[in-house]
Amino acid sequence: MITRTFALSTLACALLLSFGAPRHAHAAGDKIVIAKQADLPRFSYRIAGTATRFVEAEPAAFNAFAAQVDKDIEGVLANYQIDDKSTLIQLLGAKVSYQELAGDYAGGLKTVDELRALQTKPAAQALTGLLARARLQAAIDAGGESGPAFEAAFRKHYAESIAPLPWAVVKDGVKASYGYSRIAGRAATLADVTTELDPAVAKSGALDSGEAWTLLGTRVELKYAMPLYGARADVLHEYIAKNDTPVPEIWSAREVTLTAADKLTPVNVAIWDSGIDVALFPRQLFNDPRPTASGTHGLAFNDDGTPSTRWTYTLTAVQKAAYPSFEQEIRGRVDLQNGIDSPDALAVQKIYRTMSPAEMHARQESEKVLGFYVHGTHCAGIAVRGNPAARLVVARFDDQLPDFPFQPTEAWVKKMGADFQQMGDYFRTRHVRVVNMSWGDDVAEFETWLSKTGGGADPAARKARAAALFALWKEAIEKAIKSAPDTLFVTAAGNSDSDAGFLEDVPAALHLPNLIAVGAVNKAGDETSFTSHGDTVLVHSDGYLVDSVVPGGARLPLSGTSMASPNVVNLAAKLIALDPTLTPAQTIALIRQGATDTPDGRRHLMDEQRSVALLKAGQK
């Protein structure tokens, strides 16, 4: 899935707990060891009505649900050995939400300290839990979370926690929080629930564990966090004004721009993604002398697996009409983060202040499609930058799995698997040298898809069905990559701040000689808050507000490991253009050896100039 991160009307709601015993787990002392995400126990919470209504239900109804969710969290923490820090962070984050809702402010502070201790990224170590901690401390001071005394205490505690933070470490996170605090509101928050949680309740009658944790956090957001966003923005604005100095940008000095004078060999670069606006790349486009059913630039498949003759994802008339507003919102959000009250920024604020929850839901549904629509073109622009020898190949399919309106079936997965094999064969027979794969899927994604399309409330049955489908999906992707051994595949590590191996994220978790996974850092080379990690992540590149072209020709700054991956593709294609005899293993070695390791050993920062110098020195 090209990921997006998302943050339960009646007193008669029914609650059903179902417990699925994990497979492949084994006892270690008194606890069961969790080796991967699929081993975690599954829970299900039956909800009457909609999640959108229930999240604002009377306390008696919601508190009973919240207490059951917390009881299950306590059971997992007590009975399972979980070494994966990202999973523990999710569990404890949900627990903090429950403690705040229950008025256990002292307990919440202790859990926030546990959360902070689990963080490994410097920015996360500095920023995690500051907002919740300030609210909890203020509630203790004021005897509750309301009233002028509470807000004054919150301002005091929040300002005291923000003021000493190291600007160079927290700059991106603070600015993102500032921008969010200027547009956050009830309509958008409820729209998130309508968009992401209501389908599961409508089709399966229940929420799973992750969805339930999201709902707890949303309740806290609406009830306690949102009334303080004005105060939050004031504190952050003051901090930014005092500290806003430029942080060194490392990437320009590492860039290599090739010209015809470099005696380049054309290199075919495929973007296995949502499609490319091929009209934007007239001089960098592969033209196949043996056209496929899709045409002369590669392969494209519809959602049902049949061939398509369109190189970009097809938009409806309504979605096309919304596209200019989507572009404006991206620009406006960036301006808001930077404290620029531009026309785009003011337009975004107006939208968030005036739209109803229903209107925001419709907007979100449209923007999910538009975000997918621009994705492949944006990646393509990054991949071919500064390389006149690059020739773009389209490999289009739709990876928005949980958003499909139909249930996944074995027949559908096998049909898509056959399409993937066609892609692998195409890459081999058309001598595609590098492929960008800025997407990934895991078994939990199939569970969510089943839940949202009527897979039922039984978590054990849904888990087993999802595992079977995912096994076929994983096998098909792995087989396609293996079928093109002379092609280097570059994939995004993922945007969930998790271990790709623990999630079994495909392709990022695969260990193959012609595959490399890429993590995302910012302009200064510091880890982004979202980047995932793992033993397959061999290099890091710029994945924060990366500028590139989108369909129609505009340029937008987007963030994600999706943007970091094509930066590495860009280097790989330049190396191969300079020396077409390079194998995938040799190309990976040049990329990795040219990267600069940070003192903490966590990051391996791509350096085009160093890698090209190694190639020219004969070290391949």
Tens digits of per-residue pLDDT, 471-514? 999 999 999 999 999 999 999 999 999 999 999 999 999 999 99
Contact 269, 392 (CB under 8 A): yes
CA 307, CA 309: separation in Å to the nearest integer?
7
pLDDT of 14 above 80:
no
267: three-class secondary structure by DSSP: strand
* Percent of the chain with pLDDT strictly greater than 70: 95
Nearest 5°: the CA angle 294, 299, 305 is 85
CATH number of 252-315+356-616: 3.40.50.200
CA 521, CA 61: separation in Å to the nearest integer?
43
Strand partners, 206: 46
Predicted confidence (pLDDT) per residue in 189-221, tens digit: 999 999 999 999 999 999 999 999 999 999 999
Mean pLDDT of the chain: 93
CA 94, CA 189: separation in Å to the nearest integer?
17
CA 136, CA 572: separation in Å to the nearest integer?
49
Contact 532, 505 (CB under 8 A): yes
Report which of 93, 81, 91 is spatially closest to residue 30, judged by C-alpha positions: 81
Predicted confidence (pLDDT) per residue in 86-119, tens digit: 999 999 999 999 999 999 999 999 999 999 999 9
Structure tokens at 250: 């490392």
CA 275, CA 49: separation in Å to the nearest integer?
38
Predicted confidence (pLDDT) per residue in 146-158, tens digit: 999 999 999 999 9
Strands 537-542 and 515-521 come out as: parallel
CA 96, CA 346: separation in Å to the nearest integer?
34
Q: Which range is least confidently modeled, 10-14, 172-176, 229-233, 547-551?
A: 10-14
pLDDT of 21 above 70:
no
- pLDDT bracket for residue 28 (50, 70, 90): very low
* 8-state DSSP, 44: E
Neighbours of 258 (CB within 10 A): 18
75: three-class secondary structure by DSSP: helix
The pLDDT assigned to 25 comes to 36
The pLDDT assigned to 6 comes to 26
- Please give the residue that has the higher pLDDT: either 6 or 34: 34
Domain boundaries, the chain: 26-243, 252-315+356-616
Q: Is 504 left (phi over 0), alpha (psi -120 to 50) or beta?
A: left
Which stretch of DSSP H or E encloses residue 131? helix 130-142
Report which of 151, 119, 123 is spatially closest to residue 137, judged by C-alpha positions: 151
Strand partners, 527: 521
CA 178, CA 341: separation in Å to the nearest integer?
13
- pLDDT bracket for residue 23 (50, 70, 90): very low
The pLDDT assigned to 297 comes to 98
* 8-state DSSP, 486: T
For 324-350, the DSSP string reads HHHHHHHHHHHHHHTT---HHHHHHHH
Cα-Cα-Cα-Cα torsion 606, 609, 612, 616, nearest 10 degrees, comes to -150
Helices and strands per DSSP (H, E), number in the chain: 22, 16
CA 292, CA 234: separation in Å to the nearest integer?
57
Structure tokens at 375: 């994705």
CA 139, CA 158: separation in Å to the nearest integer?
13
The pLDDT assigned to 533 comes to 95
pLDDT of 269 above 90:
yes
Predicted confidence (pLDDT) per residue in 436-481, tens digit: 999 999 999 999 999 999 988 899 999 999 999 999 999 999 999 9
The pLDDT assigned to 1 comes to 61
Neighbours of 287 (CB within 10 A): 9
200: three-class secondary structure by DSSP: helix
